[in-house]
């Protein structure tokens, strides 16, 4: 099977049959929910993005709309369209929803004020009404370079200023930001448990391989029905399942920063179309010549991306582990 796949490496390699994939995933969701976990239904956090929309669609097909609960968890820095699209998608599916604004929980942790204090030390003119995001350098293909985080602050007048972050400041800001996903996880489990539902995760394979999720945040779930699908395959599923066009055409974003930022800008540094093909090639050890021929890249470019993959894989290995024990069991 592997040999056959490797021989056919090309831009079409990630094409899936969404119909059979849907059958397999819905069977998995049914089996897990009703037999393995013995729960009455599934709860899904609807972010207004494509992954959660696909999970909601698949859950409804697996269990029926009466057994699916959509939880919408905005906070004051969320893009307003996230809530709007999440609600529309839920209405289209006919599932029950709950909206819990998590701003007050985040305020009680003091994350906004603590984080803004740090930003003010970096950009003294920063005010609470300013917006900001974090990015990595985007020139991954073009040159050998390290990843480092930069903060871009946008003032009320629209002017932007970008500064490289120190390790300490990045870790502080990141720790604050991750509380957003962890608060959502707490809400999902609270409403899941009170309804005797399980929590369905929305992590895809691209995210899982590269560690683009928060441990005990969006990674804290009961089942991961699309963790075997690359992001571009999730798009194929979305089209087949009839996810709203607005959600499909929306640029993928972590939506945890007040200033919009795409997954590419924040983490991957290349577009999903190329990322997924290269992740596949990386995982399946496709020979370099086949990759360069199929994708029109230079060997050096592939090497750079693979080095980046390896670095992120190594840095995030712990996210994919359950807590190690002394006896290893």
Partner 1 sequence: MRKQIEQLIRNFIIESFLFGESDSLSDSDSLLERGIIDSTGVLELVAFIEETYGFRLADEELIPENLDSITNIVDFISLKQAHISNKG
User: Taking CB under 8 A as the rule, does residue 314 contact partner 1?
Assistant: yes
The encoded tokens of residue 267 equal 């983490």
User: Which of 17, 66, 147, 159: binder of partner 1 (CB under 8 A)?
Assistant: 147
By C-beta, is 60 or 269 nearer to partner 1? 269
Rounded-to-integer distance, Cα 152 and Cα 258, Å: 11
Query: Which of 9-17, 111-119, 135-143, 188-196 is the region at the interface with partner 1 (rule: CB under 8 A)?
Result: 135-143
Burial 233-245 (b: 16+ CB within 10 A, else e): bbbbbbebbebbe
User: Taking CB under 8 A as the rule, does residue 300 contact partner 1?
Assistant: no
> Which of 72, 6, 11, 63 minimizes the C-alpha distance to 37?
63
The site string for partner 1 over 32-71 (x = CB under 8 A, - otherwise) reads ----------------------------------------
By C-beta, is 190 or 317 nearer to partner 1? 317
Angle (deg, nearest 10), helices 18-30 and 231-241: 90
Find the shortest distance in angstroms from Cβ 249 to partner 1: 30
Query: Which of 26-34, 66-74, 200-208, 303-311 is the region at the interface with partner 1 (rule: CB under 8 A)?
Result: 303-311
Given 3-state DSSP classes, what are the helix, strand and coil percentages for the chain, each rounded to the nearest 5? 55, 10, 35
> Which of 191, 185, 187 minimizes the C-alpha distance to 217?
185
User: Which of 1, 3, 167, 326: binder of partner 1 (CB under 8 A)?
Assistant: 167
By C-beta, is 117 or 147 nearer to partner 1? 147
By C-beta, is 250 or 312 nearer to partner 1? 312
CB neighbour class for 156 (10 Å; exposed up to 12, middle 13-18, buried from 19): exposed
Find the shortest distance in angstroms from Cβ 124 to partner 1: 18
Query: Which of 36-44, 144-152, 197-205, 217-225 is the region at the interface with partner 1 (rule: CB under 8 A)?
Result: 144-152
End-to-end CA distance of the chain: 32
User: Taking CB under 8 A as the rule, does residue 307 contact partner 1?
Assistant: yes
Query: Which of 68-76, 114-122, 242-250, 305-313 is the region at the interface with partner 1 (rule: CB under 8 A)?
Result: 305-313
Cβ partners under 8 Å of residue 200, min gap 6 = 29, 42, 43, 44, 55, 59, 221, 222, 223, 225
User: Taking CB under 8 A as the rule, does residue 144 contact partner 1?
Assistant: yes
Q: Count the Cβ atoms, other than its own, within 10 Å of residue 125.
A: 10
User: Taking CB under 8 A as the rule, does residue 288 contact partner 1?
Assistant: no
CA distance readout (Å), 29 to 19, 64, 153: 15, 11, 42
User: Which of 104, 284, 311, 318: binder of partner 1 (CB under 8 A)?
Assistant: 311
User: Which of 36, 310, 318, 320: binder of partner 1 (CB under 8 A)?
Assistant: 310
By C-beta, is 211 or 225 nearer to partner 1? 211
Contact residues: partner 1, CB under 8 A: 136-137, 143-150, 164-168, 170-171, 307, 310-311, 314-315
């Amino acid at each position: 099977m592997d040999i056959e796949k490797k021989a056919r490496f090309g831009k079409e390699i990630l094409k899936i049959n969404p119909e059979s994939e849907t059958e397999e995933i819905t069977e998995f969701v049914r089996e897990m929910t009703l037999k393995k976990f013995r729960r009455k239904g599934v709860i899904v956090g609807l972010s207004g993005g494509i992954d959660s929309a696909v999970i909601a669609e698949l859950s409804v097909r697996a269990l029926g709309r009466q057994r699916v609960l959509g939880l919408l968890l905005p906070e004051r820095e969320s893009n307003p369209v996230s809530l709007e699209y999440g609600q529309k998608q839920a209405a289209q599916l006919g599932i029950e929803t709950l909206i819990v604004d998590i701003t007050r929980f985040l305020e009680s942790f003091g994350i906004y004020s603590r984080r803004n204090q740090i930003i003010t030390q970096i950009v003294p003119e920063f005010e609470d009404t300013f917006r900001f995001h974090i990015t990595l350098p985007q020139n991954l293909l073009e040159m050998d370079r390290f990843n480092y985080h930069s903060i871009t602050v946008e003032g009320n007048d629209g002017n932007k200023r970008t500064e490289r972050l120190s390790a300490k400041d990045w870790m502080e800001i990141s720790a604050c930001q991750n509380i957003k996903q962890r608060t959502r996880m707490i809400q999902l489990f609270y409403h899941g448990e009170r309804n005797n539902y399980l929590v369905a995760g929305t992590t895809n394979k691209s995210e899982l391989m590269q560690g683009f999720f928060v441990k005990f945040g969006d990674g804290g779930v009961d089942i991961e029905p699309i963790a075997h699908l690359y992001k571009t395959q999730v798009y194929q599923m979305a089209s087949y399942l009839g996810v709203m066009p607005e959600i499909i055409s929306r640029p993928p974003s972590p939506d945890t920063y007040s200033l919009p930022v795409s997954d590419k800008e924040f983490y991957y540094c290349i577009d999903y179309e190329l990322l997924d093909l290269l992740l596949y090639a990386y995982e399946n050890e496709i020979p370099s010549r086949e990759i360069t021929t199929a994708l029109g890249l230079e060997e050096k470019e592939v090497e750079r991306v693979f080095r980046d993959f390896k670095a992120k894989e190594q840095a995030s290995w712990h996210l994919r582990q359950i807590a190690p024990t002394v006896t290893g069991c």
